[in-house]
Amino acid sequence: MHTRTSVGPTHAPWPRPPSLRIPSLCKRAMCWDWRALRWEIANARVSRSINSPCSMHNARRIYASSYLRNDWMIVLHVISGPDSGKQHVLPDIEPQLIGRSTEALGSTDSSVSRRHAELTPSTGDWYLRDLRSTHGTWVNGQRIESRVQLRAGDVIRCGDTQMRVQALDPGVAATPVPESDPARLQAMGETVATISHSVKNILQGLRGGADAVELALRRGDLEMAREGWPIVARNLDRISWLVMNMLAYAKDRPLEIEETDIGAVVVEACELMKSTADRRGVQLLTHVDPSLPPAPIDANAVHQVLLNLLANAVEAAPERSGRVAVRCAFDPPQGVFRIDVSDNGAGVPIEHQSRLFEAFASTKGQRGTGLGLAVARALVERHGGTLTFAALVPHGTQMRAEFPADRGDPDSDRTRGPLPTREPDTEWDTVIQ
């Protein structure tokens, strides 16, 4: 049986309620799990009325139901800090990382280290250990020096962020469910319909290309296979961009800002897009200032921005005579890194220009989802920059992304100290929901 390492005098490990008597027949049954009952009693507040006449019946009912489900949800509820109000549901078999890294539970608190602490499940219990963070990990007001076992009600502090450990019964609603908003439901339905329609079109393209390649292989016609394969490759690109944009649109992840060669990011994105441009007969021109200083950016996010802008430009340019130009430079007076992506296509109709950056507002008909520019602008603005549109004369489009050279915040590689606050009142924070 696991024992809980002491982390302060606030409370001792769970005792077995003296008034609870388990029948010997049930003790012998394999379905009785005492640890499950402890969790259910703690979270259902049965212990408050354990001596009431109906407590034995309630305890047995909860005890049996916990075995049948054995699926309590362990939740970290952020009770203070920049991310206050967020909840992180912990899977019961996967270790979780607390920090600002992309693989960690999302945190925007700059006083939290990139890899601050680790949560590890073991036979139904959860353990926490500090990963040599800059400012340490605290449980119930005391800094931990080794791995400690957590229980419901514990308050974890990392930097300015405090999180309370909760164990919730998934069969019982944690909060009242508000009435459905018809406008929100309609928007959700339109979103699902748009994405489903895009996926259907892509799958149809893949099926057409695959059938052409299969027929060519049966006939041993290599020339026919060469004609069918670009259809497959083009639709593979489309499904890849759709998935990446859906992930970026649906879930914000904290940026990992580092001093980066932004010119190298531009060149890599252009090289990745070259095969798509070649299939359409579009010329892709790249000019990167060789004297660019390092830029404080998230390279992966900027790479996705560029792929979205390049994909739109290549599709807008006319086949076999199209031209897409990419220029990257640094503007010292303005203090910004500037990336221009222009094409010689027909341009954006005036009636569509006002909705150009709205999600799911596409000018491509069945070939687009309208996510690309919405995601690109969101990622640029999270850097503190801007993404703008300009119509070229006599025709064509230019998209300009500007990233500030000075973000006005501390270097993200350095973790700032937590703000001076009162010591956490564990009992109060545990009671107040």
Q: 382 and 270 in one domain? A: yes
Q: 302 and 234 in one domain? A: no
Report the C-alpha gap between 302 and 402 in whole angstroms: 11
Helix axes 222-250, 182-219, angle to 10 degrees: 160
Q: Which residue has the higher pLDDT, 272 or 254?
A: 272
Residue pair 160/419 in contact (Cβ under 8 Å)? The answer is yes
What pLDDT shows up at residue 322? Answer: 95
- The answer to whether residue 56 sits within a structural domain is no
**Residue for token pair 């993404």:** 387
Report the C-alpha gap between 68 and 160 in whole angstroms: 39
**Helix or strand (DSSP H, E) at 192:** helix 182-219
* Among candidate residues 100, 82, 80, the one with its CA nearest the CA of residue 411: 100
Mean pLDDT over the full length of the chain: 75
The first and second tokens of residue 363, run together, are: 């000018």
Report the C-alpha gap between 59 and 357 in whole angstroms: 56
Q: Which phi and psi angles does 205 have, rounded to 5°?
A: -65, -40
Q: Which amino acid is at 298?
A: D
- The answer to whether residue 12 sits within a structural domain is no
Q: How many domains does the chain have?
A: 3
- The answer to whether residue 427 sits within a structural domain is no
Q: 320 and 271 in one domain? A: yes
Q: What average pLDDT does the segment 83-105 reach? A: 84
Domain-terminating residue out of 250, 272, 290: 250
Domain-terminating residue out of 250, 272, 301: 250
- The answer to whether residue 132 sits within a structural domain is yes
CA distances 268 to 64, 274, 288, Å, are 58, 10, 12
- The answer to whether residue 116 sits within a structural domain is yes
Instruction: Kindly tell me if the per-residue pLDDT of 23 is higher than 70.
Output: no
Q: 368 and 272 in one domain? A: yes
Q: 284 and 196 in one domain? A: no
The model's pLDDT over 154-191, given as tens digits with 9 standing for 90+, comes to 999 998 899 999 887 655 544 443 444 565 566 566 66
Give the CATH number of the domain where residue 299 resides: 3.30.565.10
Q: 263 and 241 in one domain? A: no
The first and second tokens of residue 177, run together, are: 């469910």
The model's pLDDT over 310-344, given as tens digits with 9 standing for 90+, comes to 999 999 999 999 999 999 999 999 999 999 999 99
- The answer to whether residue 15 sits within a structural domain is no
**Which of the four pLDDT bands, split at 50, 70 and 90, describes residue 417?**
low
What pLDDT shows up at residue 341? Answer: 97
What pLDDT shows up at residue 429? Answer: 35
**Structural domain range at position 188:** 182-250
Report the C-alpha gap between 339 and 325 in whole angstroms: 10
Our CA dihedral for 235, 197, 301, 107, rounded to 10 degrees, sits at -140
- The answer to whether residue 150 sits within a structural domain is yes
Put residue 66 in one of left, alpha, beta given phi > 0 → left and psi -120 to 50 → alpha: alpha
CB-based burial, 122-141: b 16+ in 10 Å, e otherwise: eeeebbbebeebebbbbbbe
What pLDDT shows up at residue 400? Answer: 97
